[in-house]
Amino acid sequence: MISISVAMATYNGQRFIREQLDSLAAQQHSPSELVITDDASSDKTVAIAEQFATRAPFPVHIHRYGNRLGYRANFMRAASLCTSDVIAFCDQDDVWSPRKLSLCIEPFRDPAVLLAYHNAEVVTEAGKRLGNLDYLASAPMTPALSLCPIGWNTQSALGFTEVFRRSILKFSDLREMSLDYNDLKAPMAHDQWVFFIASVFGRIVYIDDALASYRQHGSNLFGWYPPLGFLFDFPYFLNNPIGRLDAVQQASERCAQILEITRHNLTDTWQESATLGAAQYRFLANLYAARKRLYKSANLADRVKAFHWISSASGYRPKWCWGLGRKALVRDLCLGIPAGPLLR
């Protein structure tokens, strides 16, 4: 039987953690353990967790630390302390559906599946529905290297929706090498990292059921923003994207470097996947480097040459198959070539 641990990272979460803990206790498939790592909370978060531990229907291991690590490292620390075959990340301020773990554990009967994630309802502090996360959906089952979590690709996952094999953690020592394309001063967040590793080395399963309520309360570390239509996104469309392009290029190059390092310590299929993955990320970095020329070069001929290279390399294919996408094609053709460096 496949066992599953819940890895919860906490910090000053007393407002909502009790309701989240109660939803864990109500799971149809009870976890084998709950591991809580507290990142130097100054409120009653730990006291509430300790009280819950006395009545929980499963073991609760609480680790309290005095020096703050930040959410990225704290979640990875929580995962590292889990002992089950499969691990579920858990935020402190959401509410899980009773079916969450029972549905999320099923895909792991296939040994090739490394990660599963699911849809969720987005709700207000009072529980009023705002929307859902279906814009993050992928195919129900995707093979290795069919998803790319780097760039403007929407086919990624939020941490609280992710359930993954513990074997992914054997790559954790390399996470500090990675780059978060949203903040190049930091490594990938916990959810970015496990999705990256899973997308290279195994299958990813998407579950369309909304299995959690993603609470928006004004103090979220990262809140929810509904996806904008093209017309609403038009002012952003006119901005020069060179800063963003540079960030994605650097993050992609770093992914390639990480995979090139890992392949020397792997065997058989995993080594082959690392080699192919490194090549894919190198190609992606080259695409973004060429796009940078479209919006940086003052020479029209150079911008035309960059556009031609991207087109010839099939670089504008859909993002779900490692391309830049149709929006990039329209933007580059209409704005990049004629006026790239002049955009504000």
CB of 52 closer than 8 Å to CB of 18: yes
Count of beta carbons in the 10 Å neighbourhood of residue 310: 24
Over residues 150-193, the pLDDT tens digits come to: 765 555 799 999 999 999 999 999 999 999 998 999 999 999 99
241 Cβ partners below 8 Å, 6+ apart?
Answer: 291, 295, 331
User: What type of residue is 266?
Assistant: L
Over residues 234-288, the pLDDT tens digits come to: 565 667 889 999 999 999 999 999 999 998 888 888 999 999 999 999 999 999 9
SS3 277: helix
pLDDT in the model for residue 219: 60
pLDDT in the model for residue 231: 46
Q: What is d(CA 158, CA 160) in angstroms, rounded to the nearest whole number?
A: 6
pLDDT in the model for residue 158: 94
CATH superfamily of 4-216: Spore Coat Polysaccharide Biosynthesis Protein SpsA; Chain A (3.90.550.10)
Question: What does the block give as tokens for 38?
Answer: 């507290």
pLDDT class of 316 with cuts at 50, 70, 90: very high
Is the pLDDT at 321 greater than 80? The verdict is no
pTM for the whole structure: 0.92
Q: Where are the domains of the chain?
A: 4-216, 234-342
> Which of 54-68, 147-161, 171-185, 300-314 comes out lowest in average pLDDT?
147-161
Give the C-alpha distances (Å, rounded to integers) separating 153 from 135, 138, 328: 11, 11, 12
Over residues 4-32, the pLDDT tens digits come to: 999 999 999 999 999 999 999 999 999 99
**Secondary structure percentages of the chain, helix, strand, coil, to 5:** 45, 20, 35
Over residues 77-90, the pLDDT tens digits come to: 999 999 999 999 99
Is the pLDDT at 232 greater than 50? The verdict is no
Identify which has the larger pLDDT, 223 or 301.
301
Angle at 65 between CA 64 and CA 66, to 5 degrees: 130
